[in-house]
Structure 1
Amino acid sequence: MIYGIDTFSFHDVLEICKNPNKAQLTQEAKNQIIKSQNNVKQIVESDRTVYGINTGFGPLCDVKISEEETAQLQYNLIISHAVGVGKPIDKEFSKIMMIAKIHALSKGFSGVSLEVIERFIVMLEKDIIPVVPEQGSVGASGDLAPLSHLVLPLLGLGQVWVGNEIFETAEILEKNKLEPLVLGPKEGLGLINGTQFILAHAIKGLEKFEYLLDLADMTAAMSLEAYRGSSSPFKKELHDIRPFEGSKKVAARMLKFLKDSDNLKSHEYCDRVQDPYSMRCVPQVHGASRNAFEHLKIMAETELNSVTDNPIVLSAEESISGGNFHGQLMAMPLDYATLAVAELGNISDRRSYLLLEGKYGLPRLLTESSGLNSGFMIPQYTSAALVTENKTLCFPASADSIPTSLGQEDHVSMGSISGRKFNQVLGNLVNILAVELMFAAQGLEFRRPAKCSKIIEENHAIVRLKVAKLEDDRLIGKDMLAIAELINERKFVVNF
């Protein structure tokens, strides 16, 4: 993979995170970078007034800066904008930010030097990763505060991750015989204008969302087996006449999960006419979430392969001050995706509830000795609490805007908040699905000796590796956490 030249997918970025040597700068990419830097040099020498090169920033854009002061201007920009607060984002988010920033700068429209870009690459390869606080970006004039913290280590400032520990940057640079850099004209602005904080949260969230979509289908199939529901709502003929891609895919997957199930065949001609919506409408609800995933994926990969700083330097004669840094294009799909993730949890909780009702051969609360034992009564409370928490997190951050920069930046996206909420809701969904898996696995115990499909039996066995059948009350909070760990480690078989 070649920075600045190739079109990256979000999977490519995750692969580079694991192995930074997977991407490189070819001479072609280096030539683009050098050409861009030379264009900025010529602008400085021409004495033309160009925003961010020889002017102040934001509302100070009408203040002219002399050629001698340009280096100080860029340094001041970074240290004055590094005002993030809150706990650090996960190290992998910072790595994704670095990769996305390198890729955008390497396209040759930002005027950032080869030396700066190569330093970022060296830091990636040596696992020297900037510490970035999670709060402080309004997602409009780029993710200014988070990106400033990302850039601080280039100047010998701030903190960095090495392994799983945090160190002062100066200590690590000295240890690796790396000198702090001095930024040239426009370099500071090119480095901190952009949407890489928002984008990192989209990319990392997409990775988890993709797996949880598949897991939700499998979990629904296991619940349907335990409930002894019908597979008829998943027939191809039904979905061909309402052909949304997401619902068609889920319906086909559900039929595969349920194929050759002795359990479902055993009540094929029972007098139950139809199942509740949370069992019957899995393709429509999960499918809608899949459609949202695909939309966010397209938007994120477009952003990943874009130039998002300002001004854009087209040549020594032409630069454009525009709004490519504005996060709205990512904020809205992230808010939509957050709702889609929350709905996977919402319908999962309803399936969990159905399994507790004591209908169709299942005992109440999935225990044969209820009364003395509470069985699985309270884990559904946990699920319900998480579902409601997710609902409160579904308010779209992109619906809000607070003017900043003395009114110069009078409409902002709040996309950084959209990205953070998206990942928070995904984390809650893991625990909601863990509850459903625990219930579904218990429900299957009451359907024996009938067997489910091969893949459902395989996943049931995975649950049982960590969590035994519940006979009498025990500390089942540990069981929930054990299943959540299996989910986070991707132990379940969710594809064919």
Structure 2
Amino acid sequence: MREATALPDTVVLDGASLTPEDVAAVARHDASVELDADAIERMRDSRARVESVLDSGEPVYGVNTGFGHLVETHIDREDIERLQTNLVRSHSAGAGRELTRTEVRSMMVTRANTLAKGYSGIRPEVVDVLVSMLNEGVHPVVRSRGSLGASGDLAPLAHMALVLIGEGEAHVDGERYSGDDALRSAGLEPVTLKSKEGLALINGTQLTVGLASLFVVDAERIVDAADAAGALTTEVTMGTTANCDPAIHDVRPHPGQRESAAAVRRLTEGSTVLESHKDCERVQDAYSIRCLPQVNGAVRDAVSHLREAVEIELNSVTDNPLVFPAGAVDERAPGTDVAAVVSAGNFHGEPLALRLDYAAGALTELAAISERRTDRMLNPDVQESYLPPFLTEHSGLRSGYMIAQYTAAALLNECRSFGRPSLDSTPVSGGQEDHVSMSGQSALNARVVAENVATIVGVELLCGAQAAEFLADGLELGTGTGAVRDAIRSVVPPLDDDRPLDGELEEASDLVRFGAIRAAIGDALD
């Protein structure tokens, strides 16, 4: 489904300004990619520094030594290019499902951007081939498992790099080719890697940050849609928006809480449904309605915390070793009078892993409260008397939306089962890499959580739109919630009789995840 929110058609990689929205534009919609002219010069300068270090004969990790536990093994000058090729081949040891086209493209564009900063010692010609692969639609076959999120996302990035040297496999226009044939079909030549370049391609957090970028974009839209779903449910269950009064949130001024409360107020402006029962005897609504601002707002804040880290990581150098000009670092760093090559730990994915797990857990809570609101519309033991059981007339003969809630509950259970990969660490490489972040798994889990939660919120929206069919004549939804109901009705008709719902759940999920609900609200309220 086409994203409803405008995204750029061209993304220029300068190593400093890439955003999650840029990643989504390239990954999902094939926005063209260009290398910034200044970035090309920085890469040339960085490459010259690597050559100067190589000429000095100093032992430097990744340039003329082995890797991991084999760091003390010196590599002869005549074997240095072979070392880089062997590195890419040996590290292409992933397993599990293949990454999707979107996931591979997110990894490719983020890797090209970090290389463009000019601290990795790679020739711009190599990065240009990576960019050309994006523009020509050459997508390496990448196994999803194998990253520990330290030394970066090694195995997935190695599978990506394998195609650059004419090996491995890639998809082009839906067909699967050998790496060499895939490149040549796009008019590209395989790369012969020079010193440091294999390591520059595979050492970084780009699987993690690419997927995290897509998660952030999706999660922000999902929270907006969840506010809208909650506002619609509040109306059709004859609830109140008094819980969203600004005075309440001024005395507990969390930013997300204030934003969600304000959203519900805006969405329900003009609602005659709310006006129709202002003097009823109900004292208060259930927590799933009354506490929407507090729960959705906390999720907003968690996603915002992740966005902060993602925006930094997208424009950071996550390589090892790093190549600096002489004098830029401590004089004890190995190098020459024109360069210093420093081994450090920017490849460690912890800054993303912890926040990814936190944000995925927060989004799971968003799903949990949404599912409870769905129950309030379906469950004959708790719902308003004017709503028929499971939102269908002749219930018993018909099941209505009963099983849609089952699906929401099953997806919620899956989200809850993921745990926190970032709390685990399994030492590898003979104990040299003795603490890892597991950020790649955190990112893969978060992607599934976003897809599941979009469907769960979509189920609530479907039920809210169906419940609105039973409102008394003359009652009107708010301007915003009415637009949300209309967005649902543009793809799903009222449920007049039982029918298969799987396609309709997918349609509703897409409206949530790709921004159509947010866009409908914006069009109605602007």
Give the TM-score taking structure 2 as reference length: 0.90
Q: Could you tell me whether the CA contact under 8 Å between 2:257 and 2:293 is conserved in 1? A: yes
User: Percent identical across equivalent pairs?
Assistant: 38
Task: Work out whether 1:32 is the aligned partner of 2:21.
Answer: no
Letter in 1 for 2:498: D
In the TM superposition, residue 178 of structure 1 has moved relative to its aligned partner by 2.6
CA distance in structure 2 between the partners assigned to 1:304 and 1:100 by the alignment: 6
Letter in 2 for 1:378: I
Task: Work out whether 1:417 is the aligned partner of 2:427.
Answer: no
Q: Could you tell me whether the CA contact under 8 Å between 2:215 and 2:446 is conserved in 1? A: yes
In the TM superposition, residue 13 of structure 1 has moved relative to its aligned partner by 2.7
CA distance in structure 2 between the partners assigned to 1:150 and 1:339 by the alignment: 30
CA distance in structure 2 between the partners assigned to 1:371 and 1:104 by the alignment: 59
CA distance in structure 2 between the partners assigned to 1:167 and 1:208 by the alignment: 32
Within a 5 Å distance, the mapping from 1:22-421 to structure 2 comes to 23-26=34-37, 28-315=38-325, 316-317=335-336, 318-358=340-380, 359-360=383-384, 361-393=386-418, 395-421=419-445
Q: Could you tell me whether the CA contact under 8 Å between 1:198 and 1:415 is conserved in 2? A: yes
CA distance in structure 2 between the partners assigned to 1:420 and 1:103 by the alignment: 21
Q: CA RMSD in A?
A: 1.7
Q: Could you tell me whether the CA contact under 8 Å between 2:322 and 2:342 is conserved in 1? A: yes
Letter in 1 for 2:354: M
Greater CA drift, 355-364 or 121-130: 355-364
Aligned with 2:45: secondary structure?
Answer: helix
Greater CA drift, 427-436 or 189-198: 427-436
Structure 2 unaligned segments of length 5 or more: list them.
1-10, 326-334
After superposition, the C-alpha distances for 1:257-294 in whole angstroms (9 at most, x for unaligned) are 11010111000111111100100111110001100111
Q: Could you tell me whether the CA contact under 8 Å between 2:33 and 2:135 is conserved in 1? A: no
CA distance in structure 1 between the partners assigned to 2:392 and 2:12 by the alignment: 58
In the TM superposition, residue 115 of structure 1 has moved relative to its aligned partner by 1.4
Greater CA drift, 422-431 or 4-13: 4-13
CA distance in structure 1 between the partners assigned to 2:454 and 2:140 by the alignment: 28
CA distance in structure 1 between the partners assigned to 2:17 and 2:491 by the alignment: 42
Task: Give the equivalent residue in structure 2 for 1:433.
Answer: 457
Within a 5 Å distance, the mapping from 1:446-457 to structure 2 comes to 446-449=470-473, 450-457=475-482
Task: Work out whether 1:442 is the aligned partner of 2:466.
Answer: yes
Q: Could you tell me whether the CA contact under 8 Å between 1:386 and 1:432 is conserved in 2? A: yes
CA distance in structure 1 between the partners assigned to 2:399 and 2:163 by the alignment: 55
After superposition, the C-alpha distances for 1:410-446 in whole angstroms (9 at most, x for unaligned) are 1011111100000101111122122211211121122
Q: Could you tell me whether the CA contact under 8 Å between 2:33 and 2:131 is conserved in 1? A: no
CA distance in structure 2 between the partners assigned to 1:279 and 1:446 by the alignment: 20
Q: Could you tell me whether the CA contact under 8 Å between 1:111 and 1:313 is conserved in 2? A: yes
Q: Could you tell me whether the CA contact under 8 Å between 2:23 and 2:214 is conserved in 1? A: no
Letter in 1 for 2:431: G
Aligned with 1:378: secondary structure?
Answer: helix
**Count of residue pairs the alignment pairs up:** 494
After superposition, the C-alpha distances for 1:336-393 in whole angstroms (9 at most, x for unaligned) are 0110111111001000111123333322322332233333322222211211111112
Letter in 2 for 1:132: V
In the TM superposition, residue 464 of structure 1 has moved relative to its aligned partner by 2.6
Structure 1 residues 110 and 475: alpha-carbon distance in aligned structure 2, compared to 1, 3 A threshold? closer
CA distance in structure 2 between the partners assigned to 1:451 and 1:268 by the alignment: 15
Give the TM-score taking structure 1 as reference length: 0.96
Letter in 2 for 1:282: L
Q: Could you tell me whether the CA contact under 8 Å between 1:74 and 1:186 is conserved in 2? A: yes
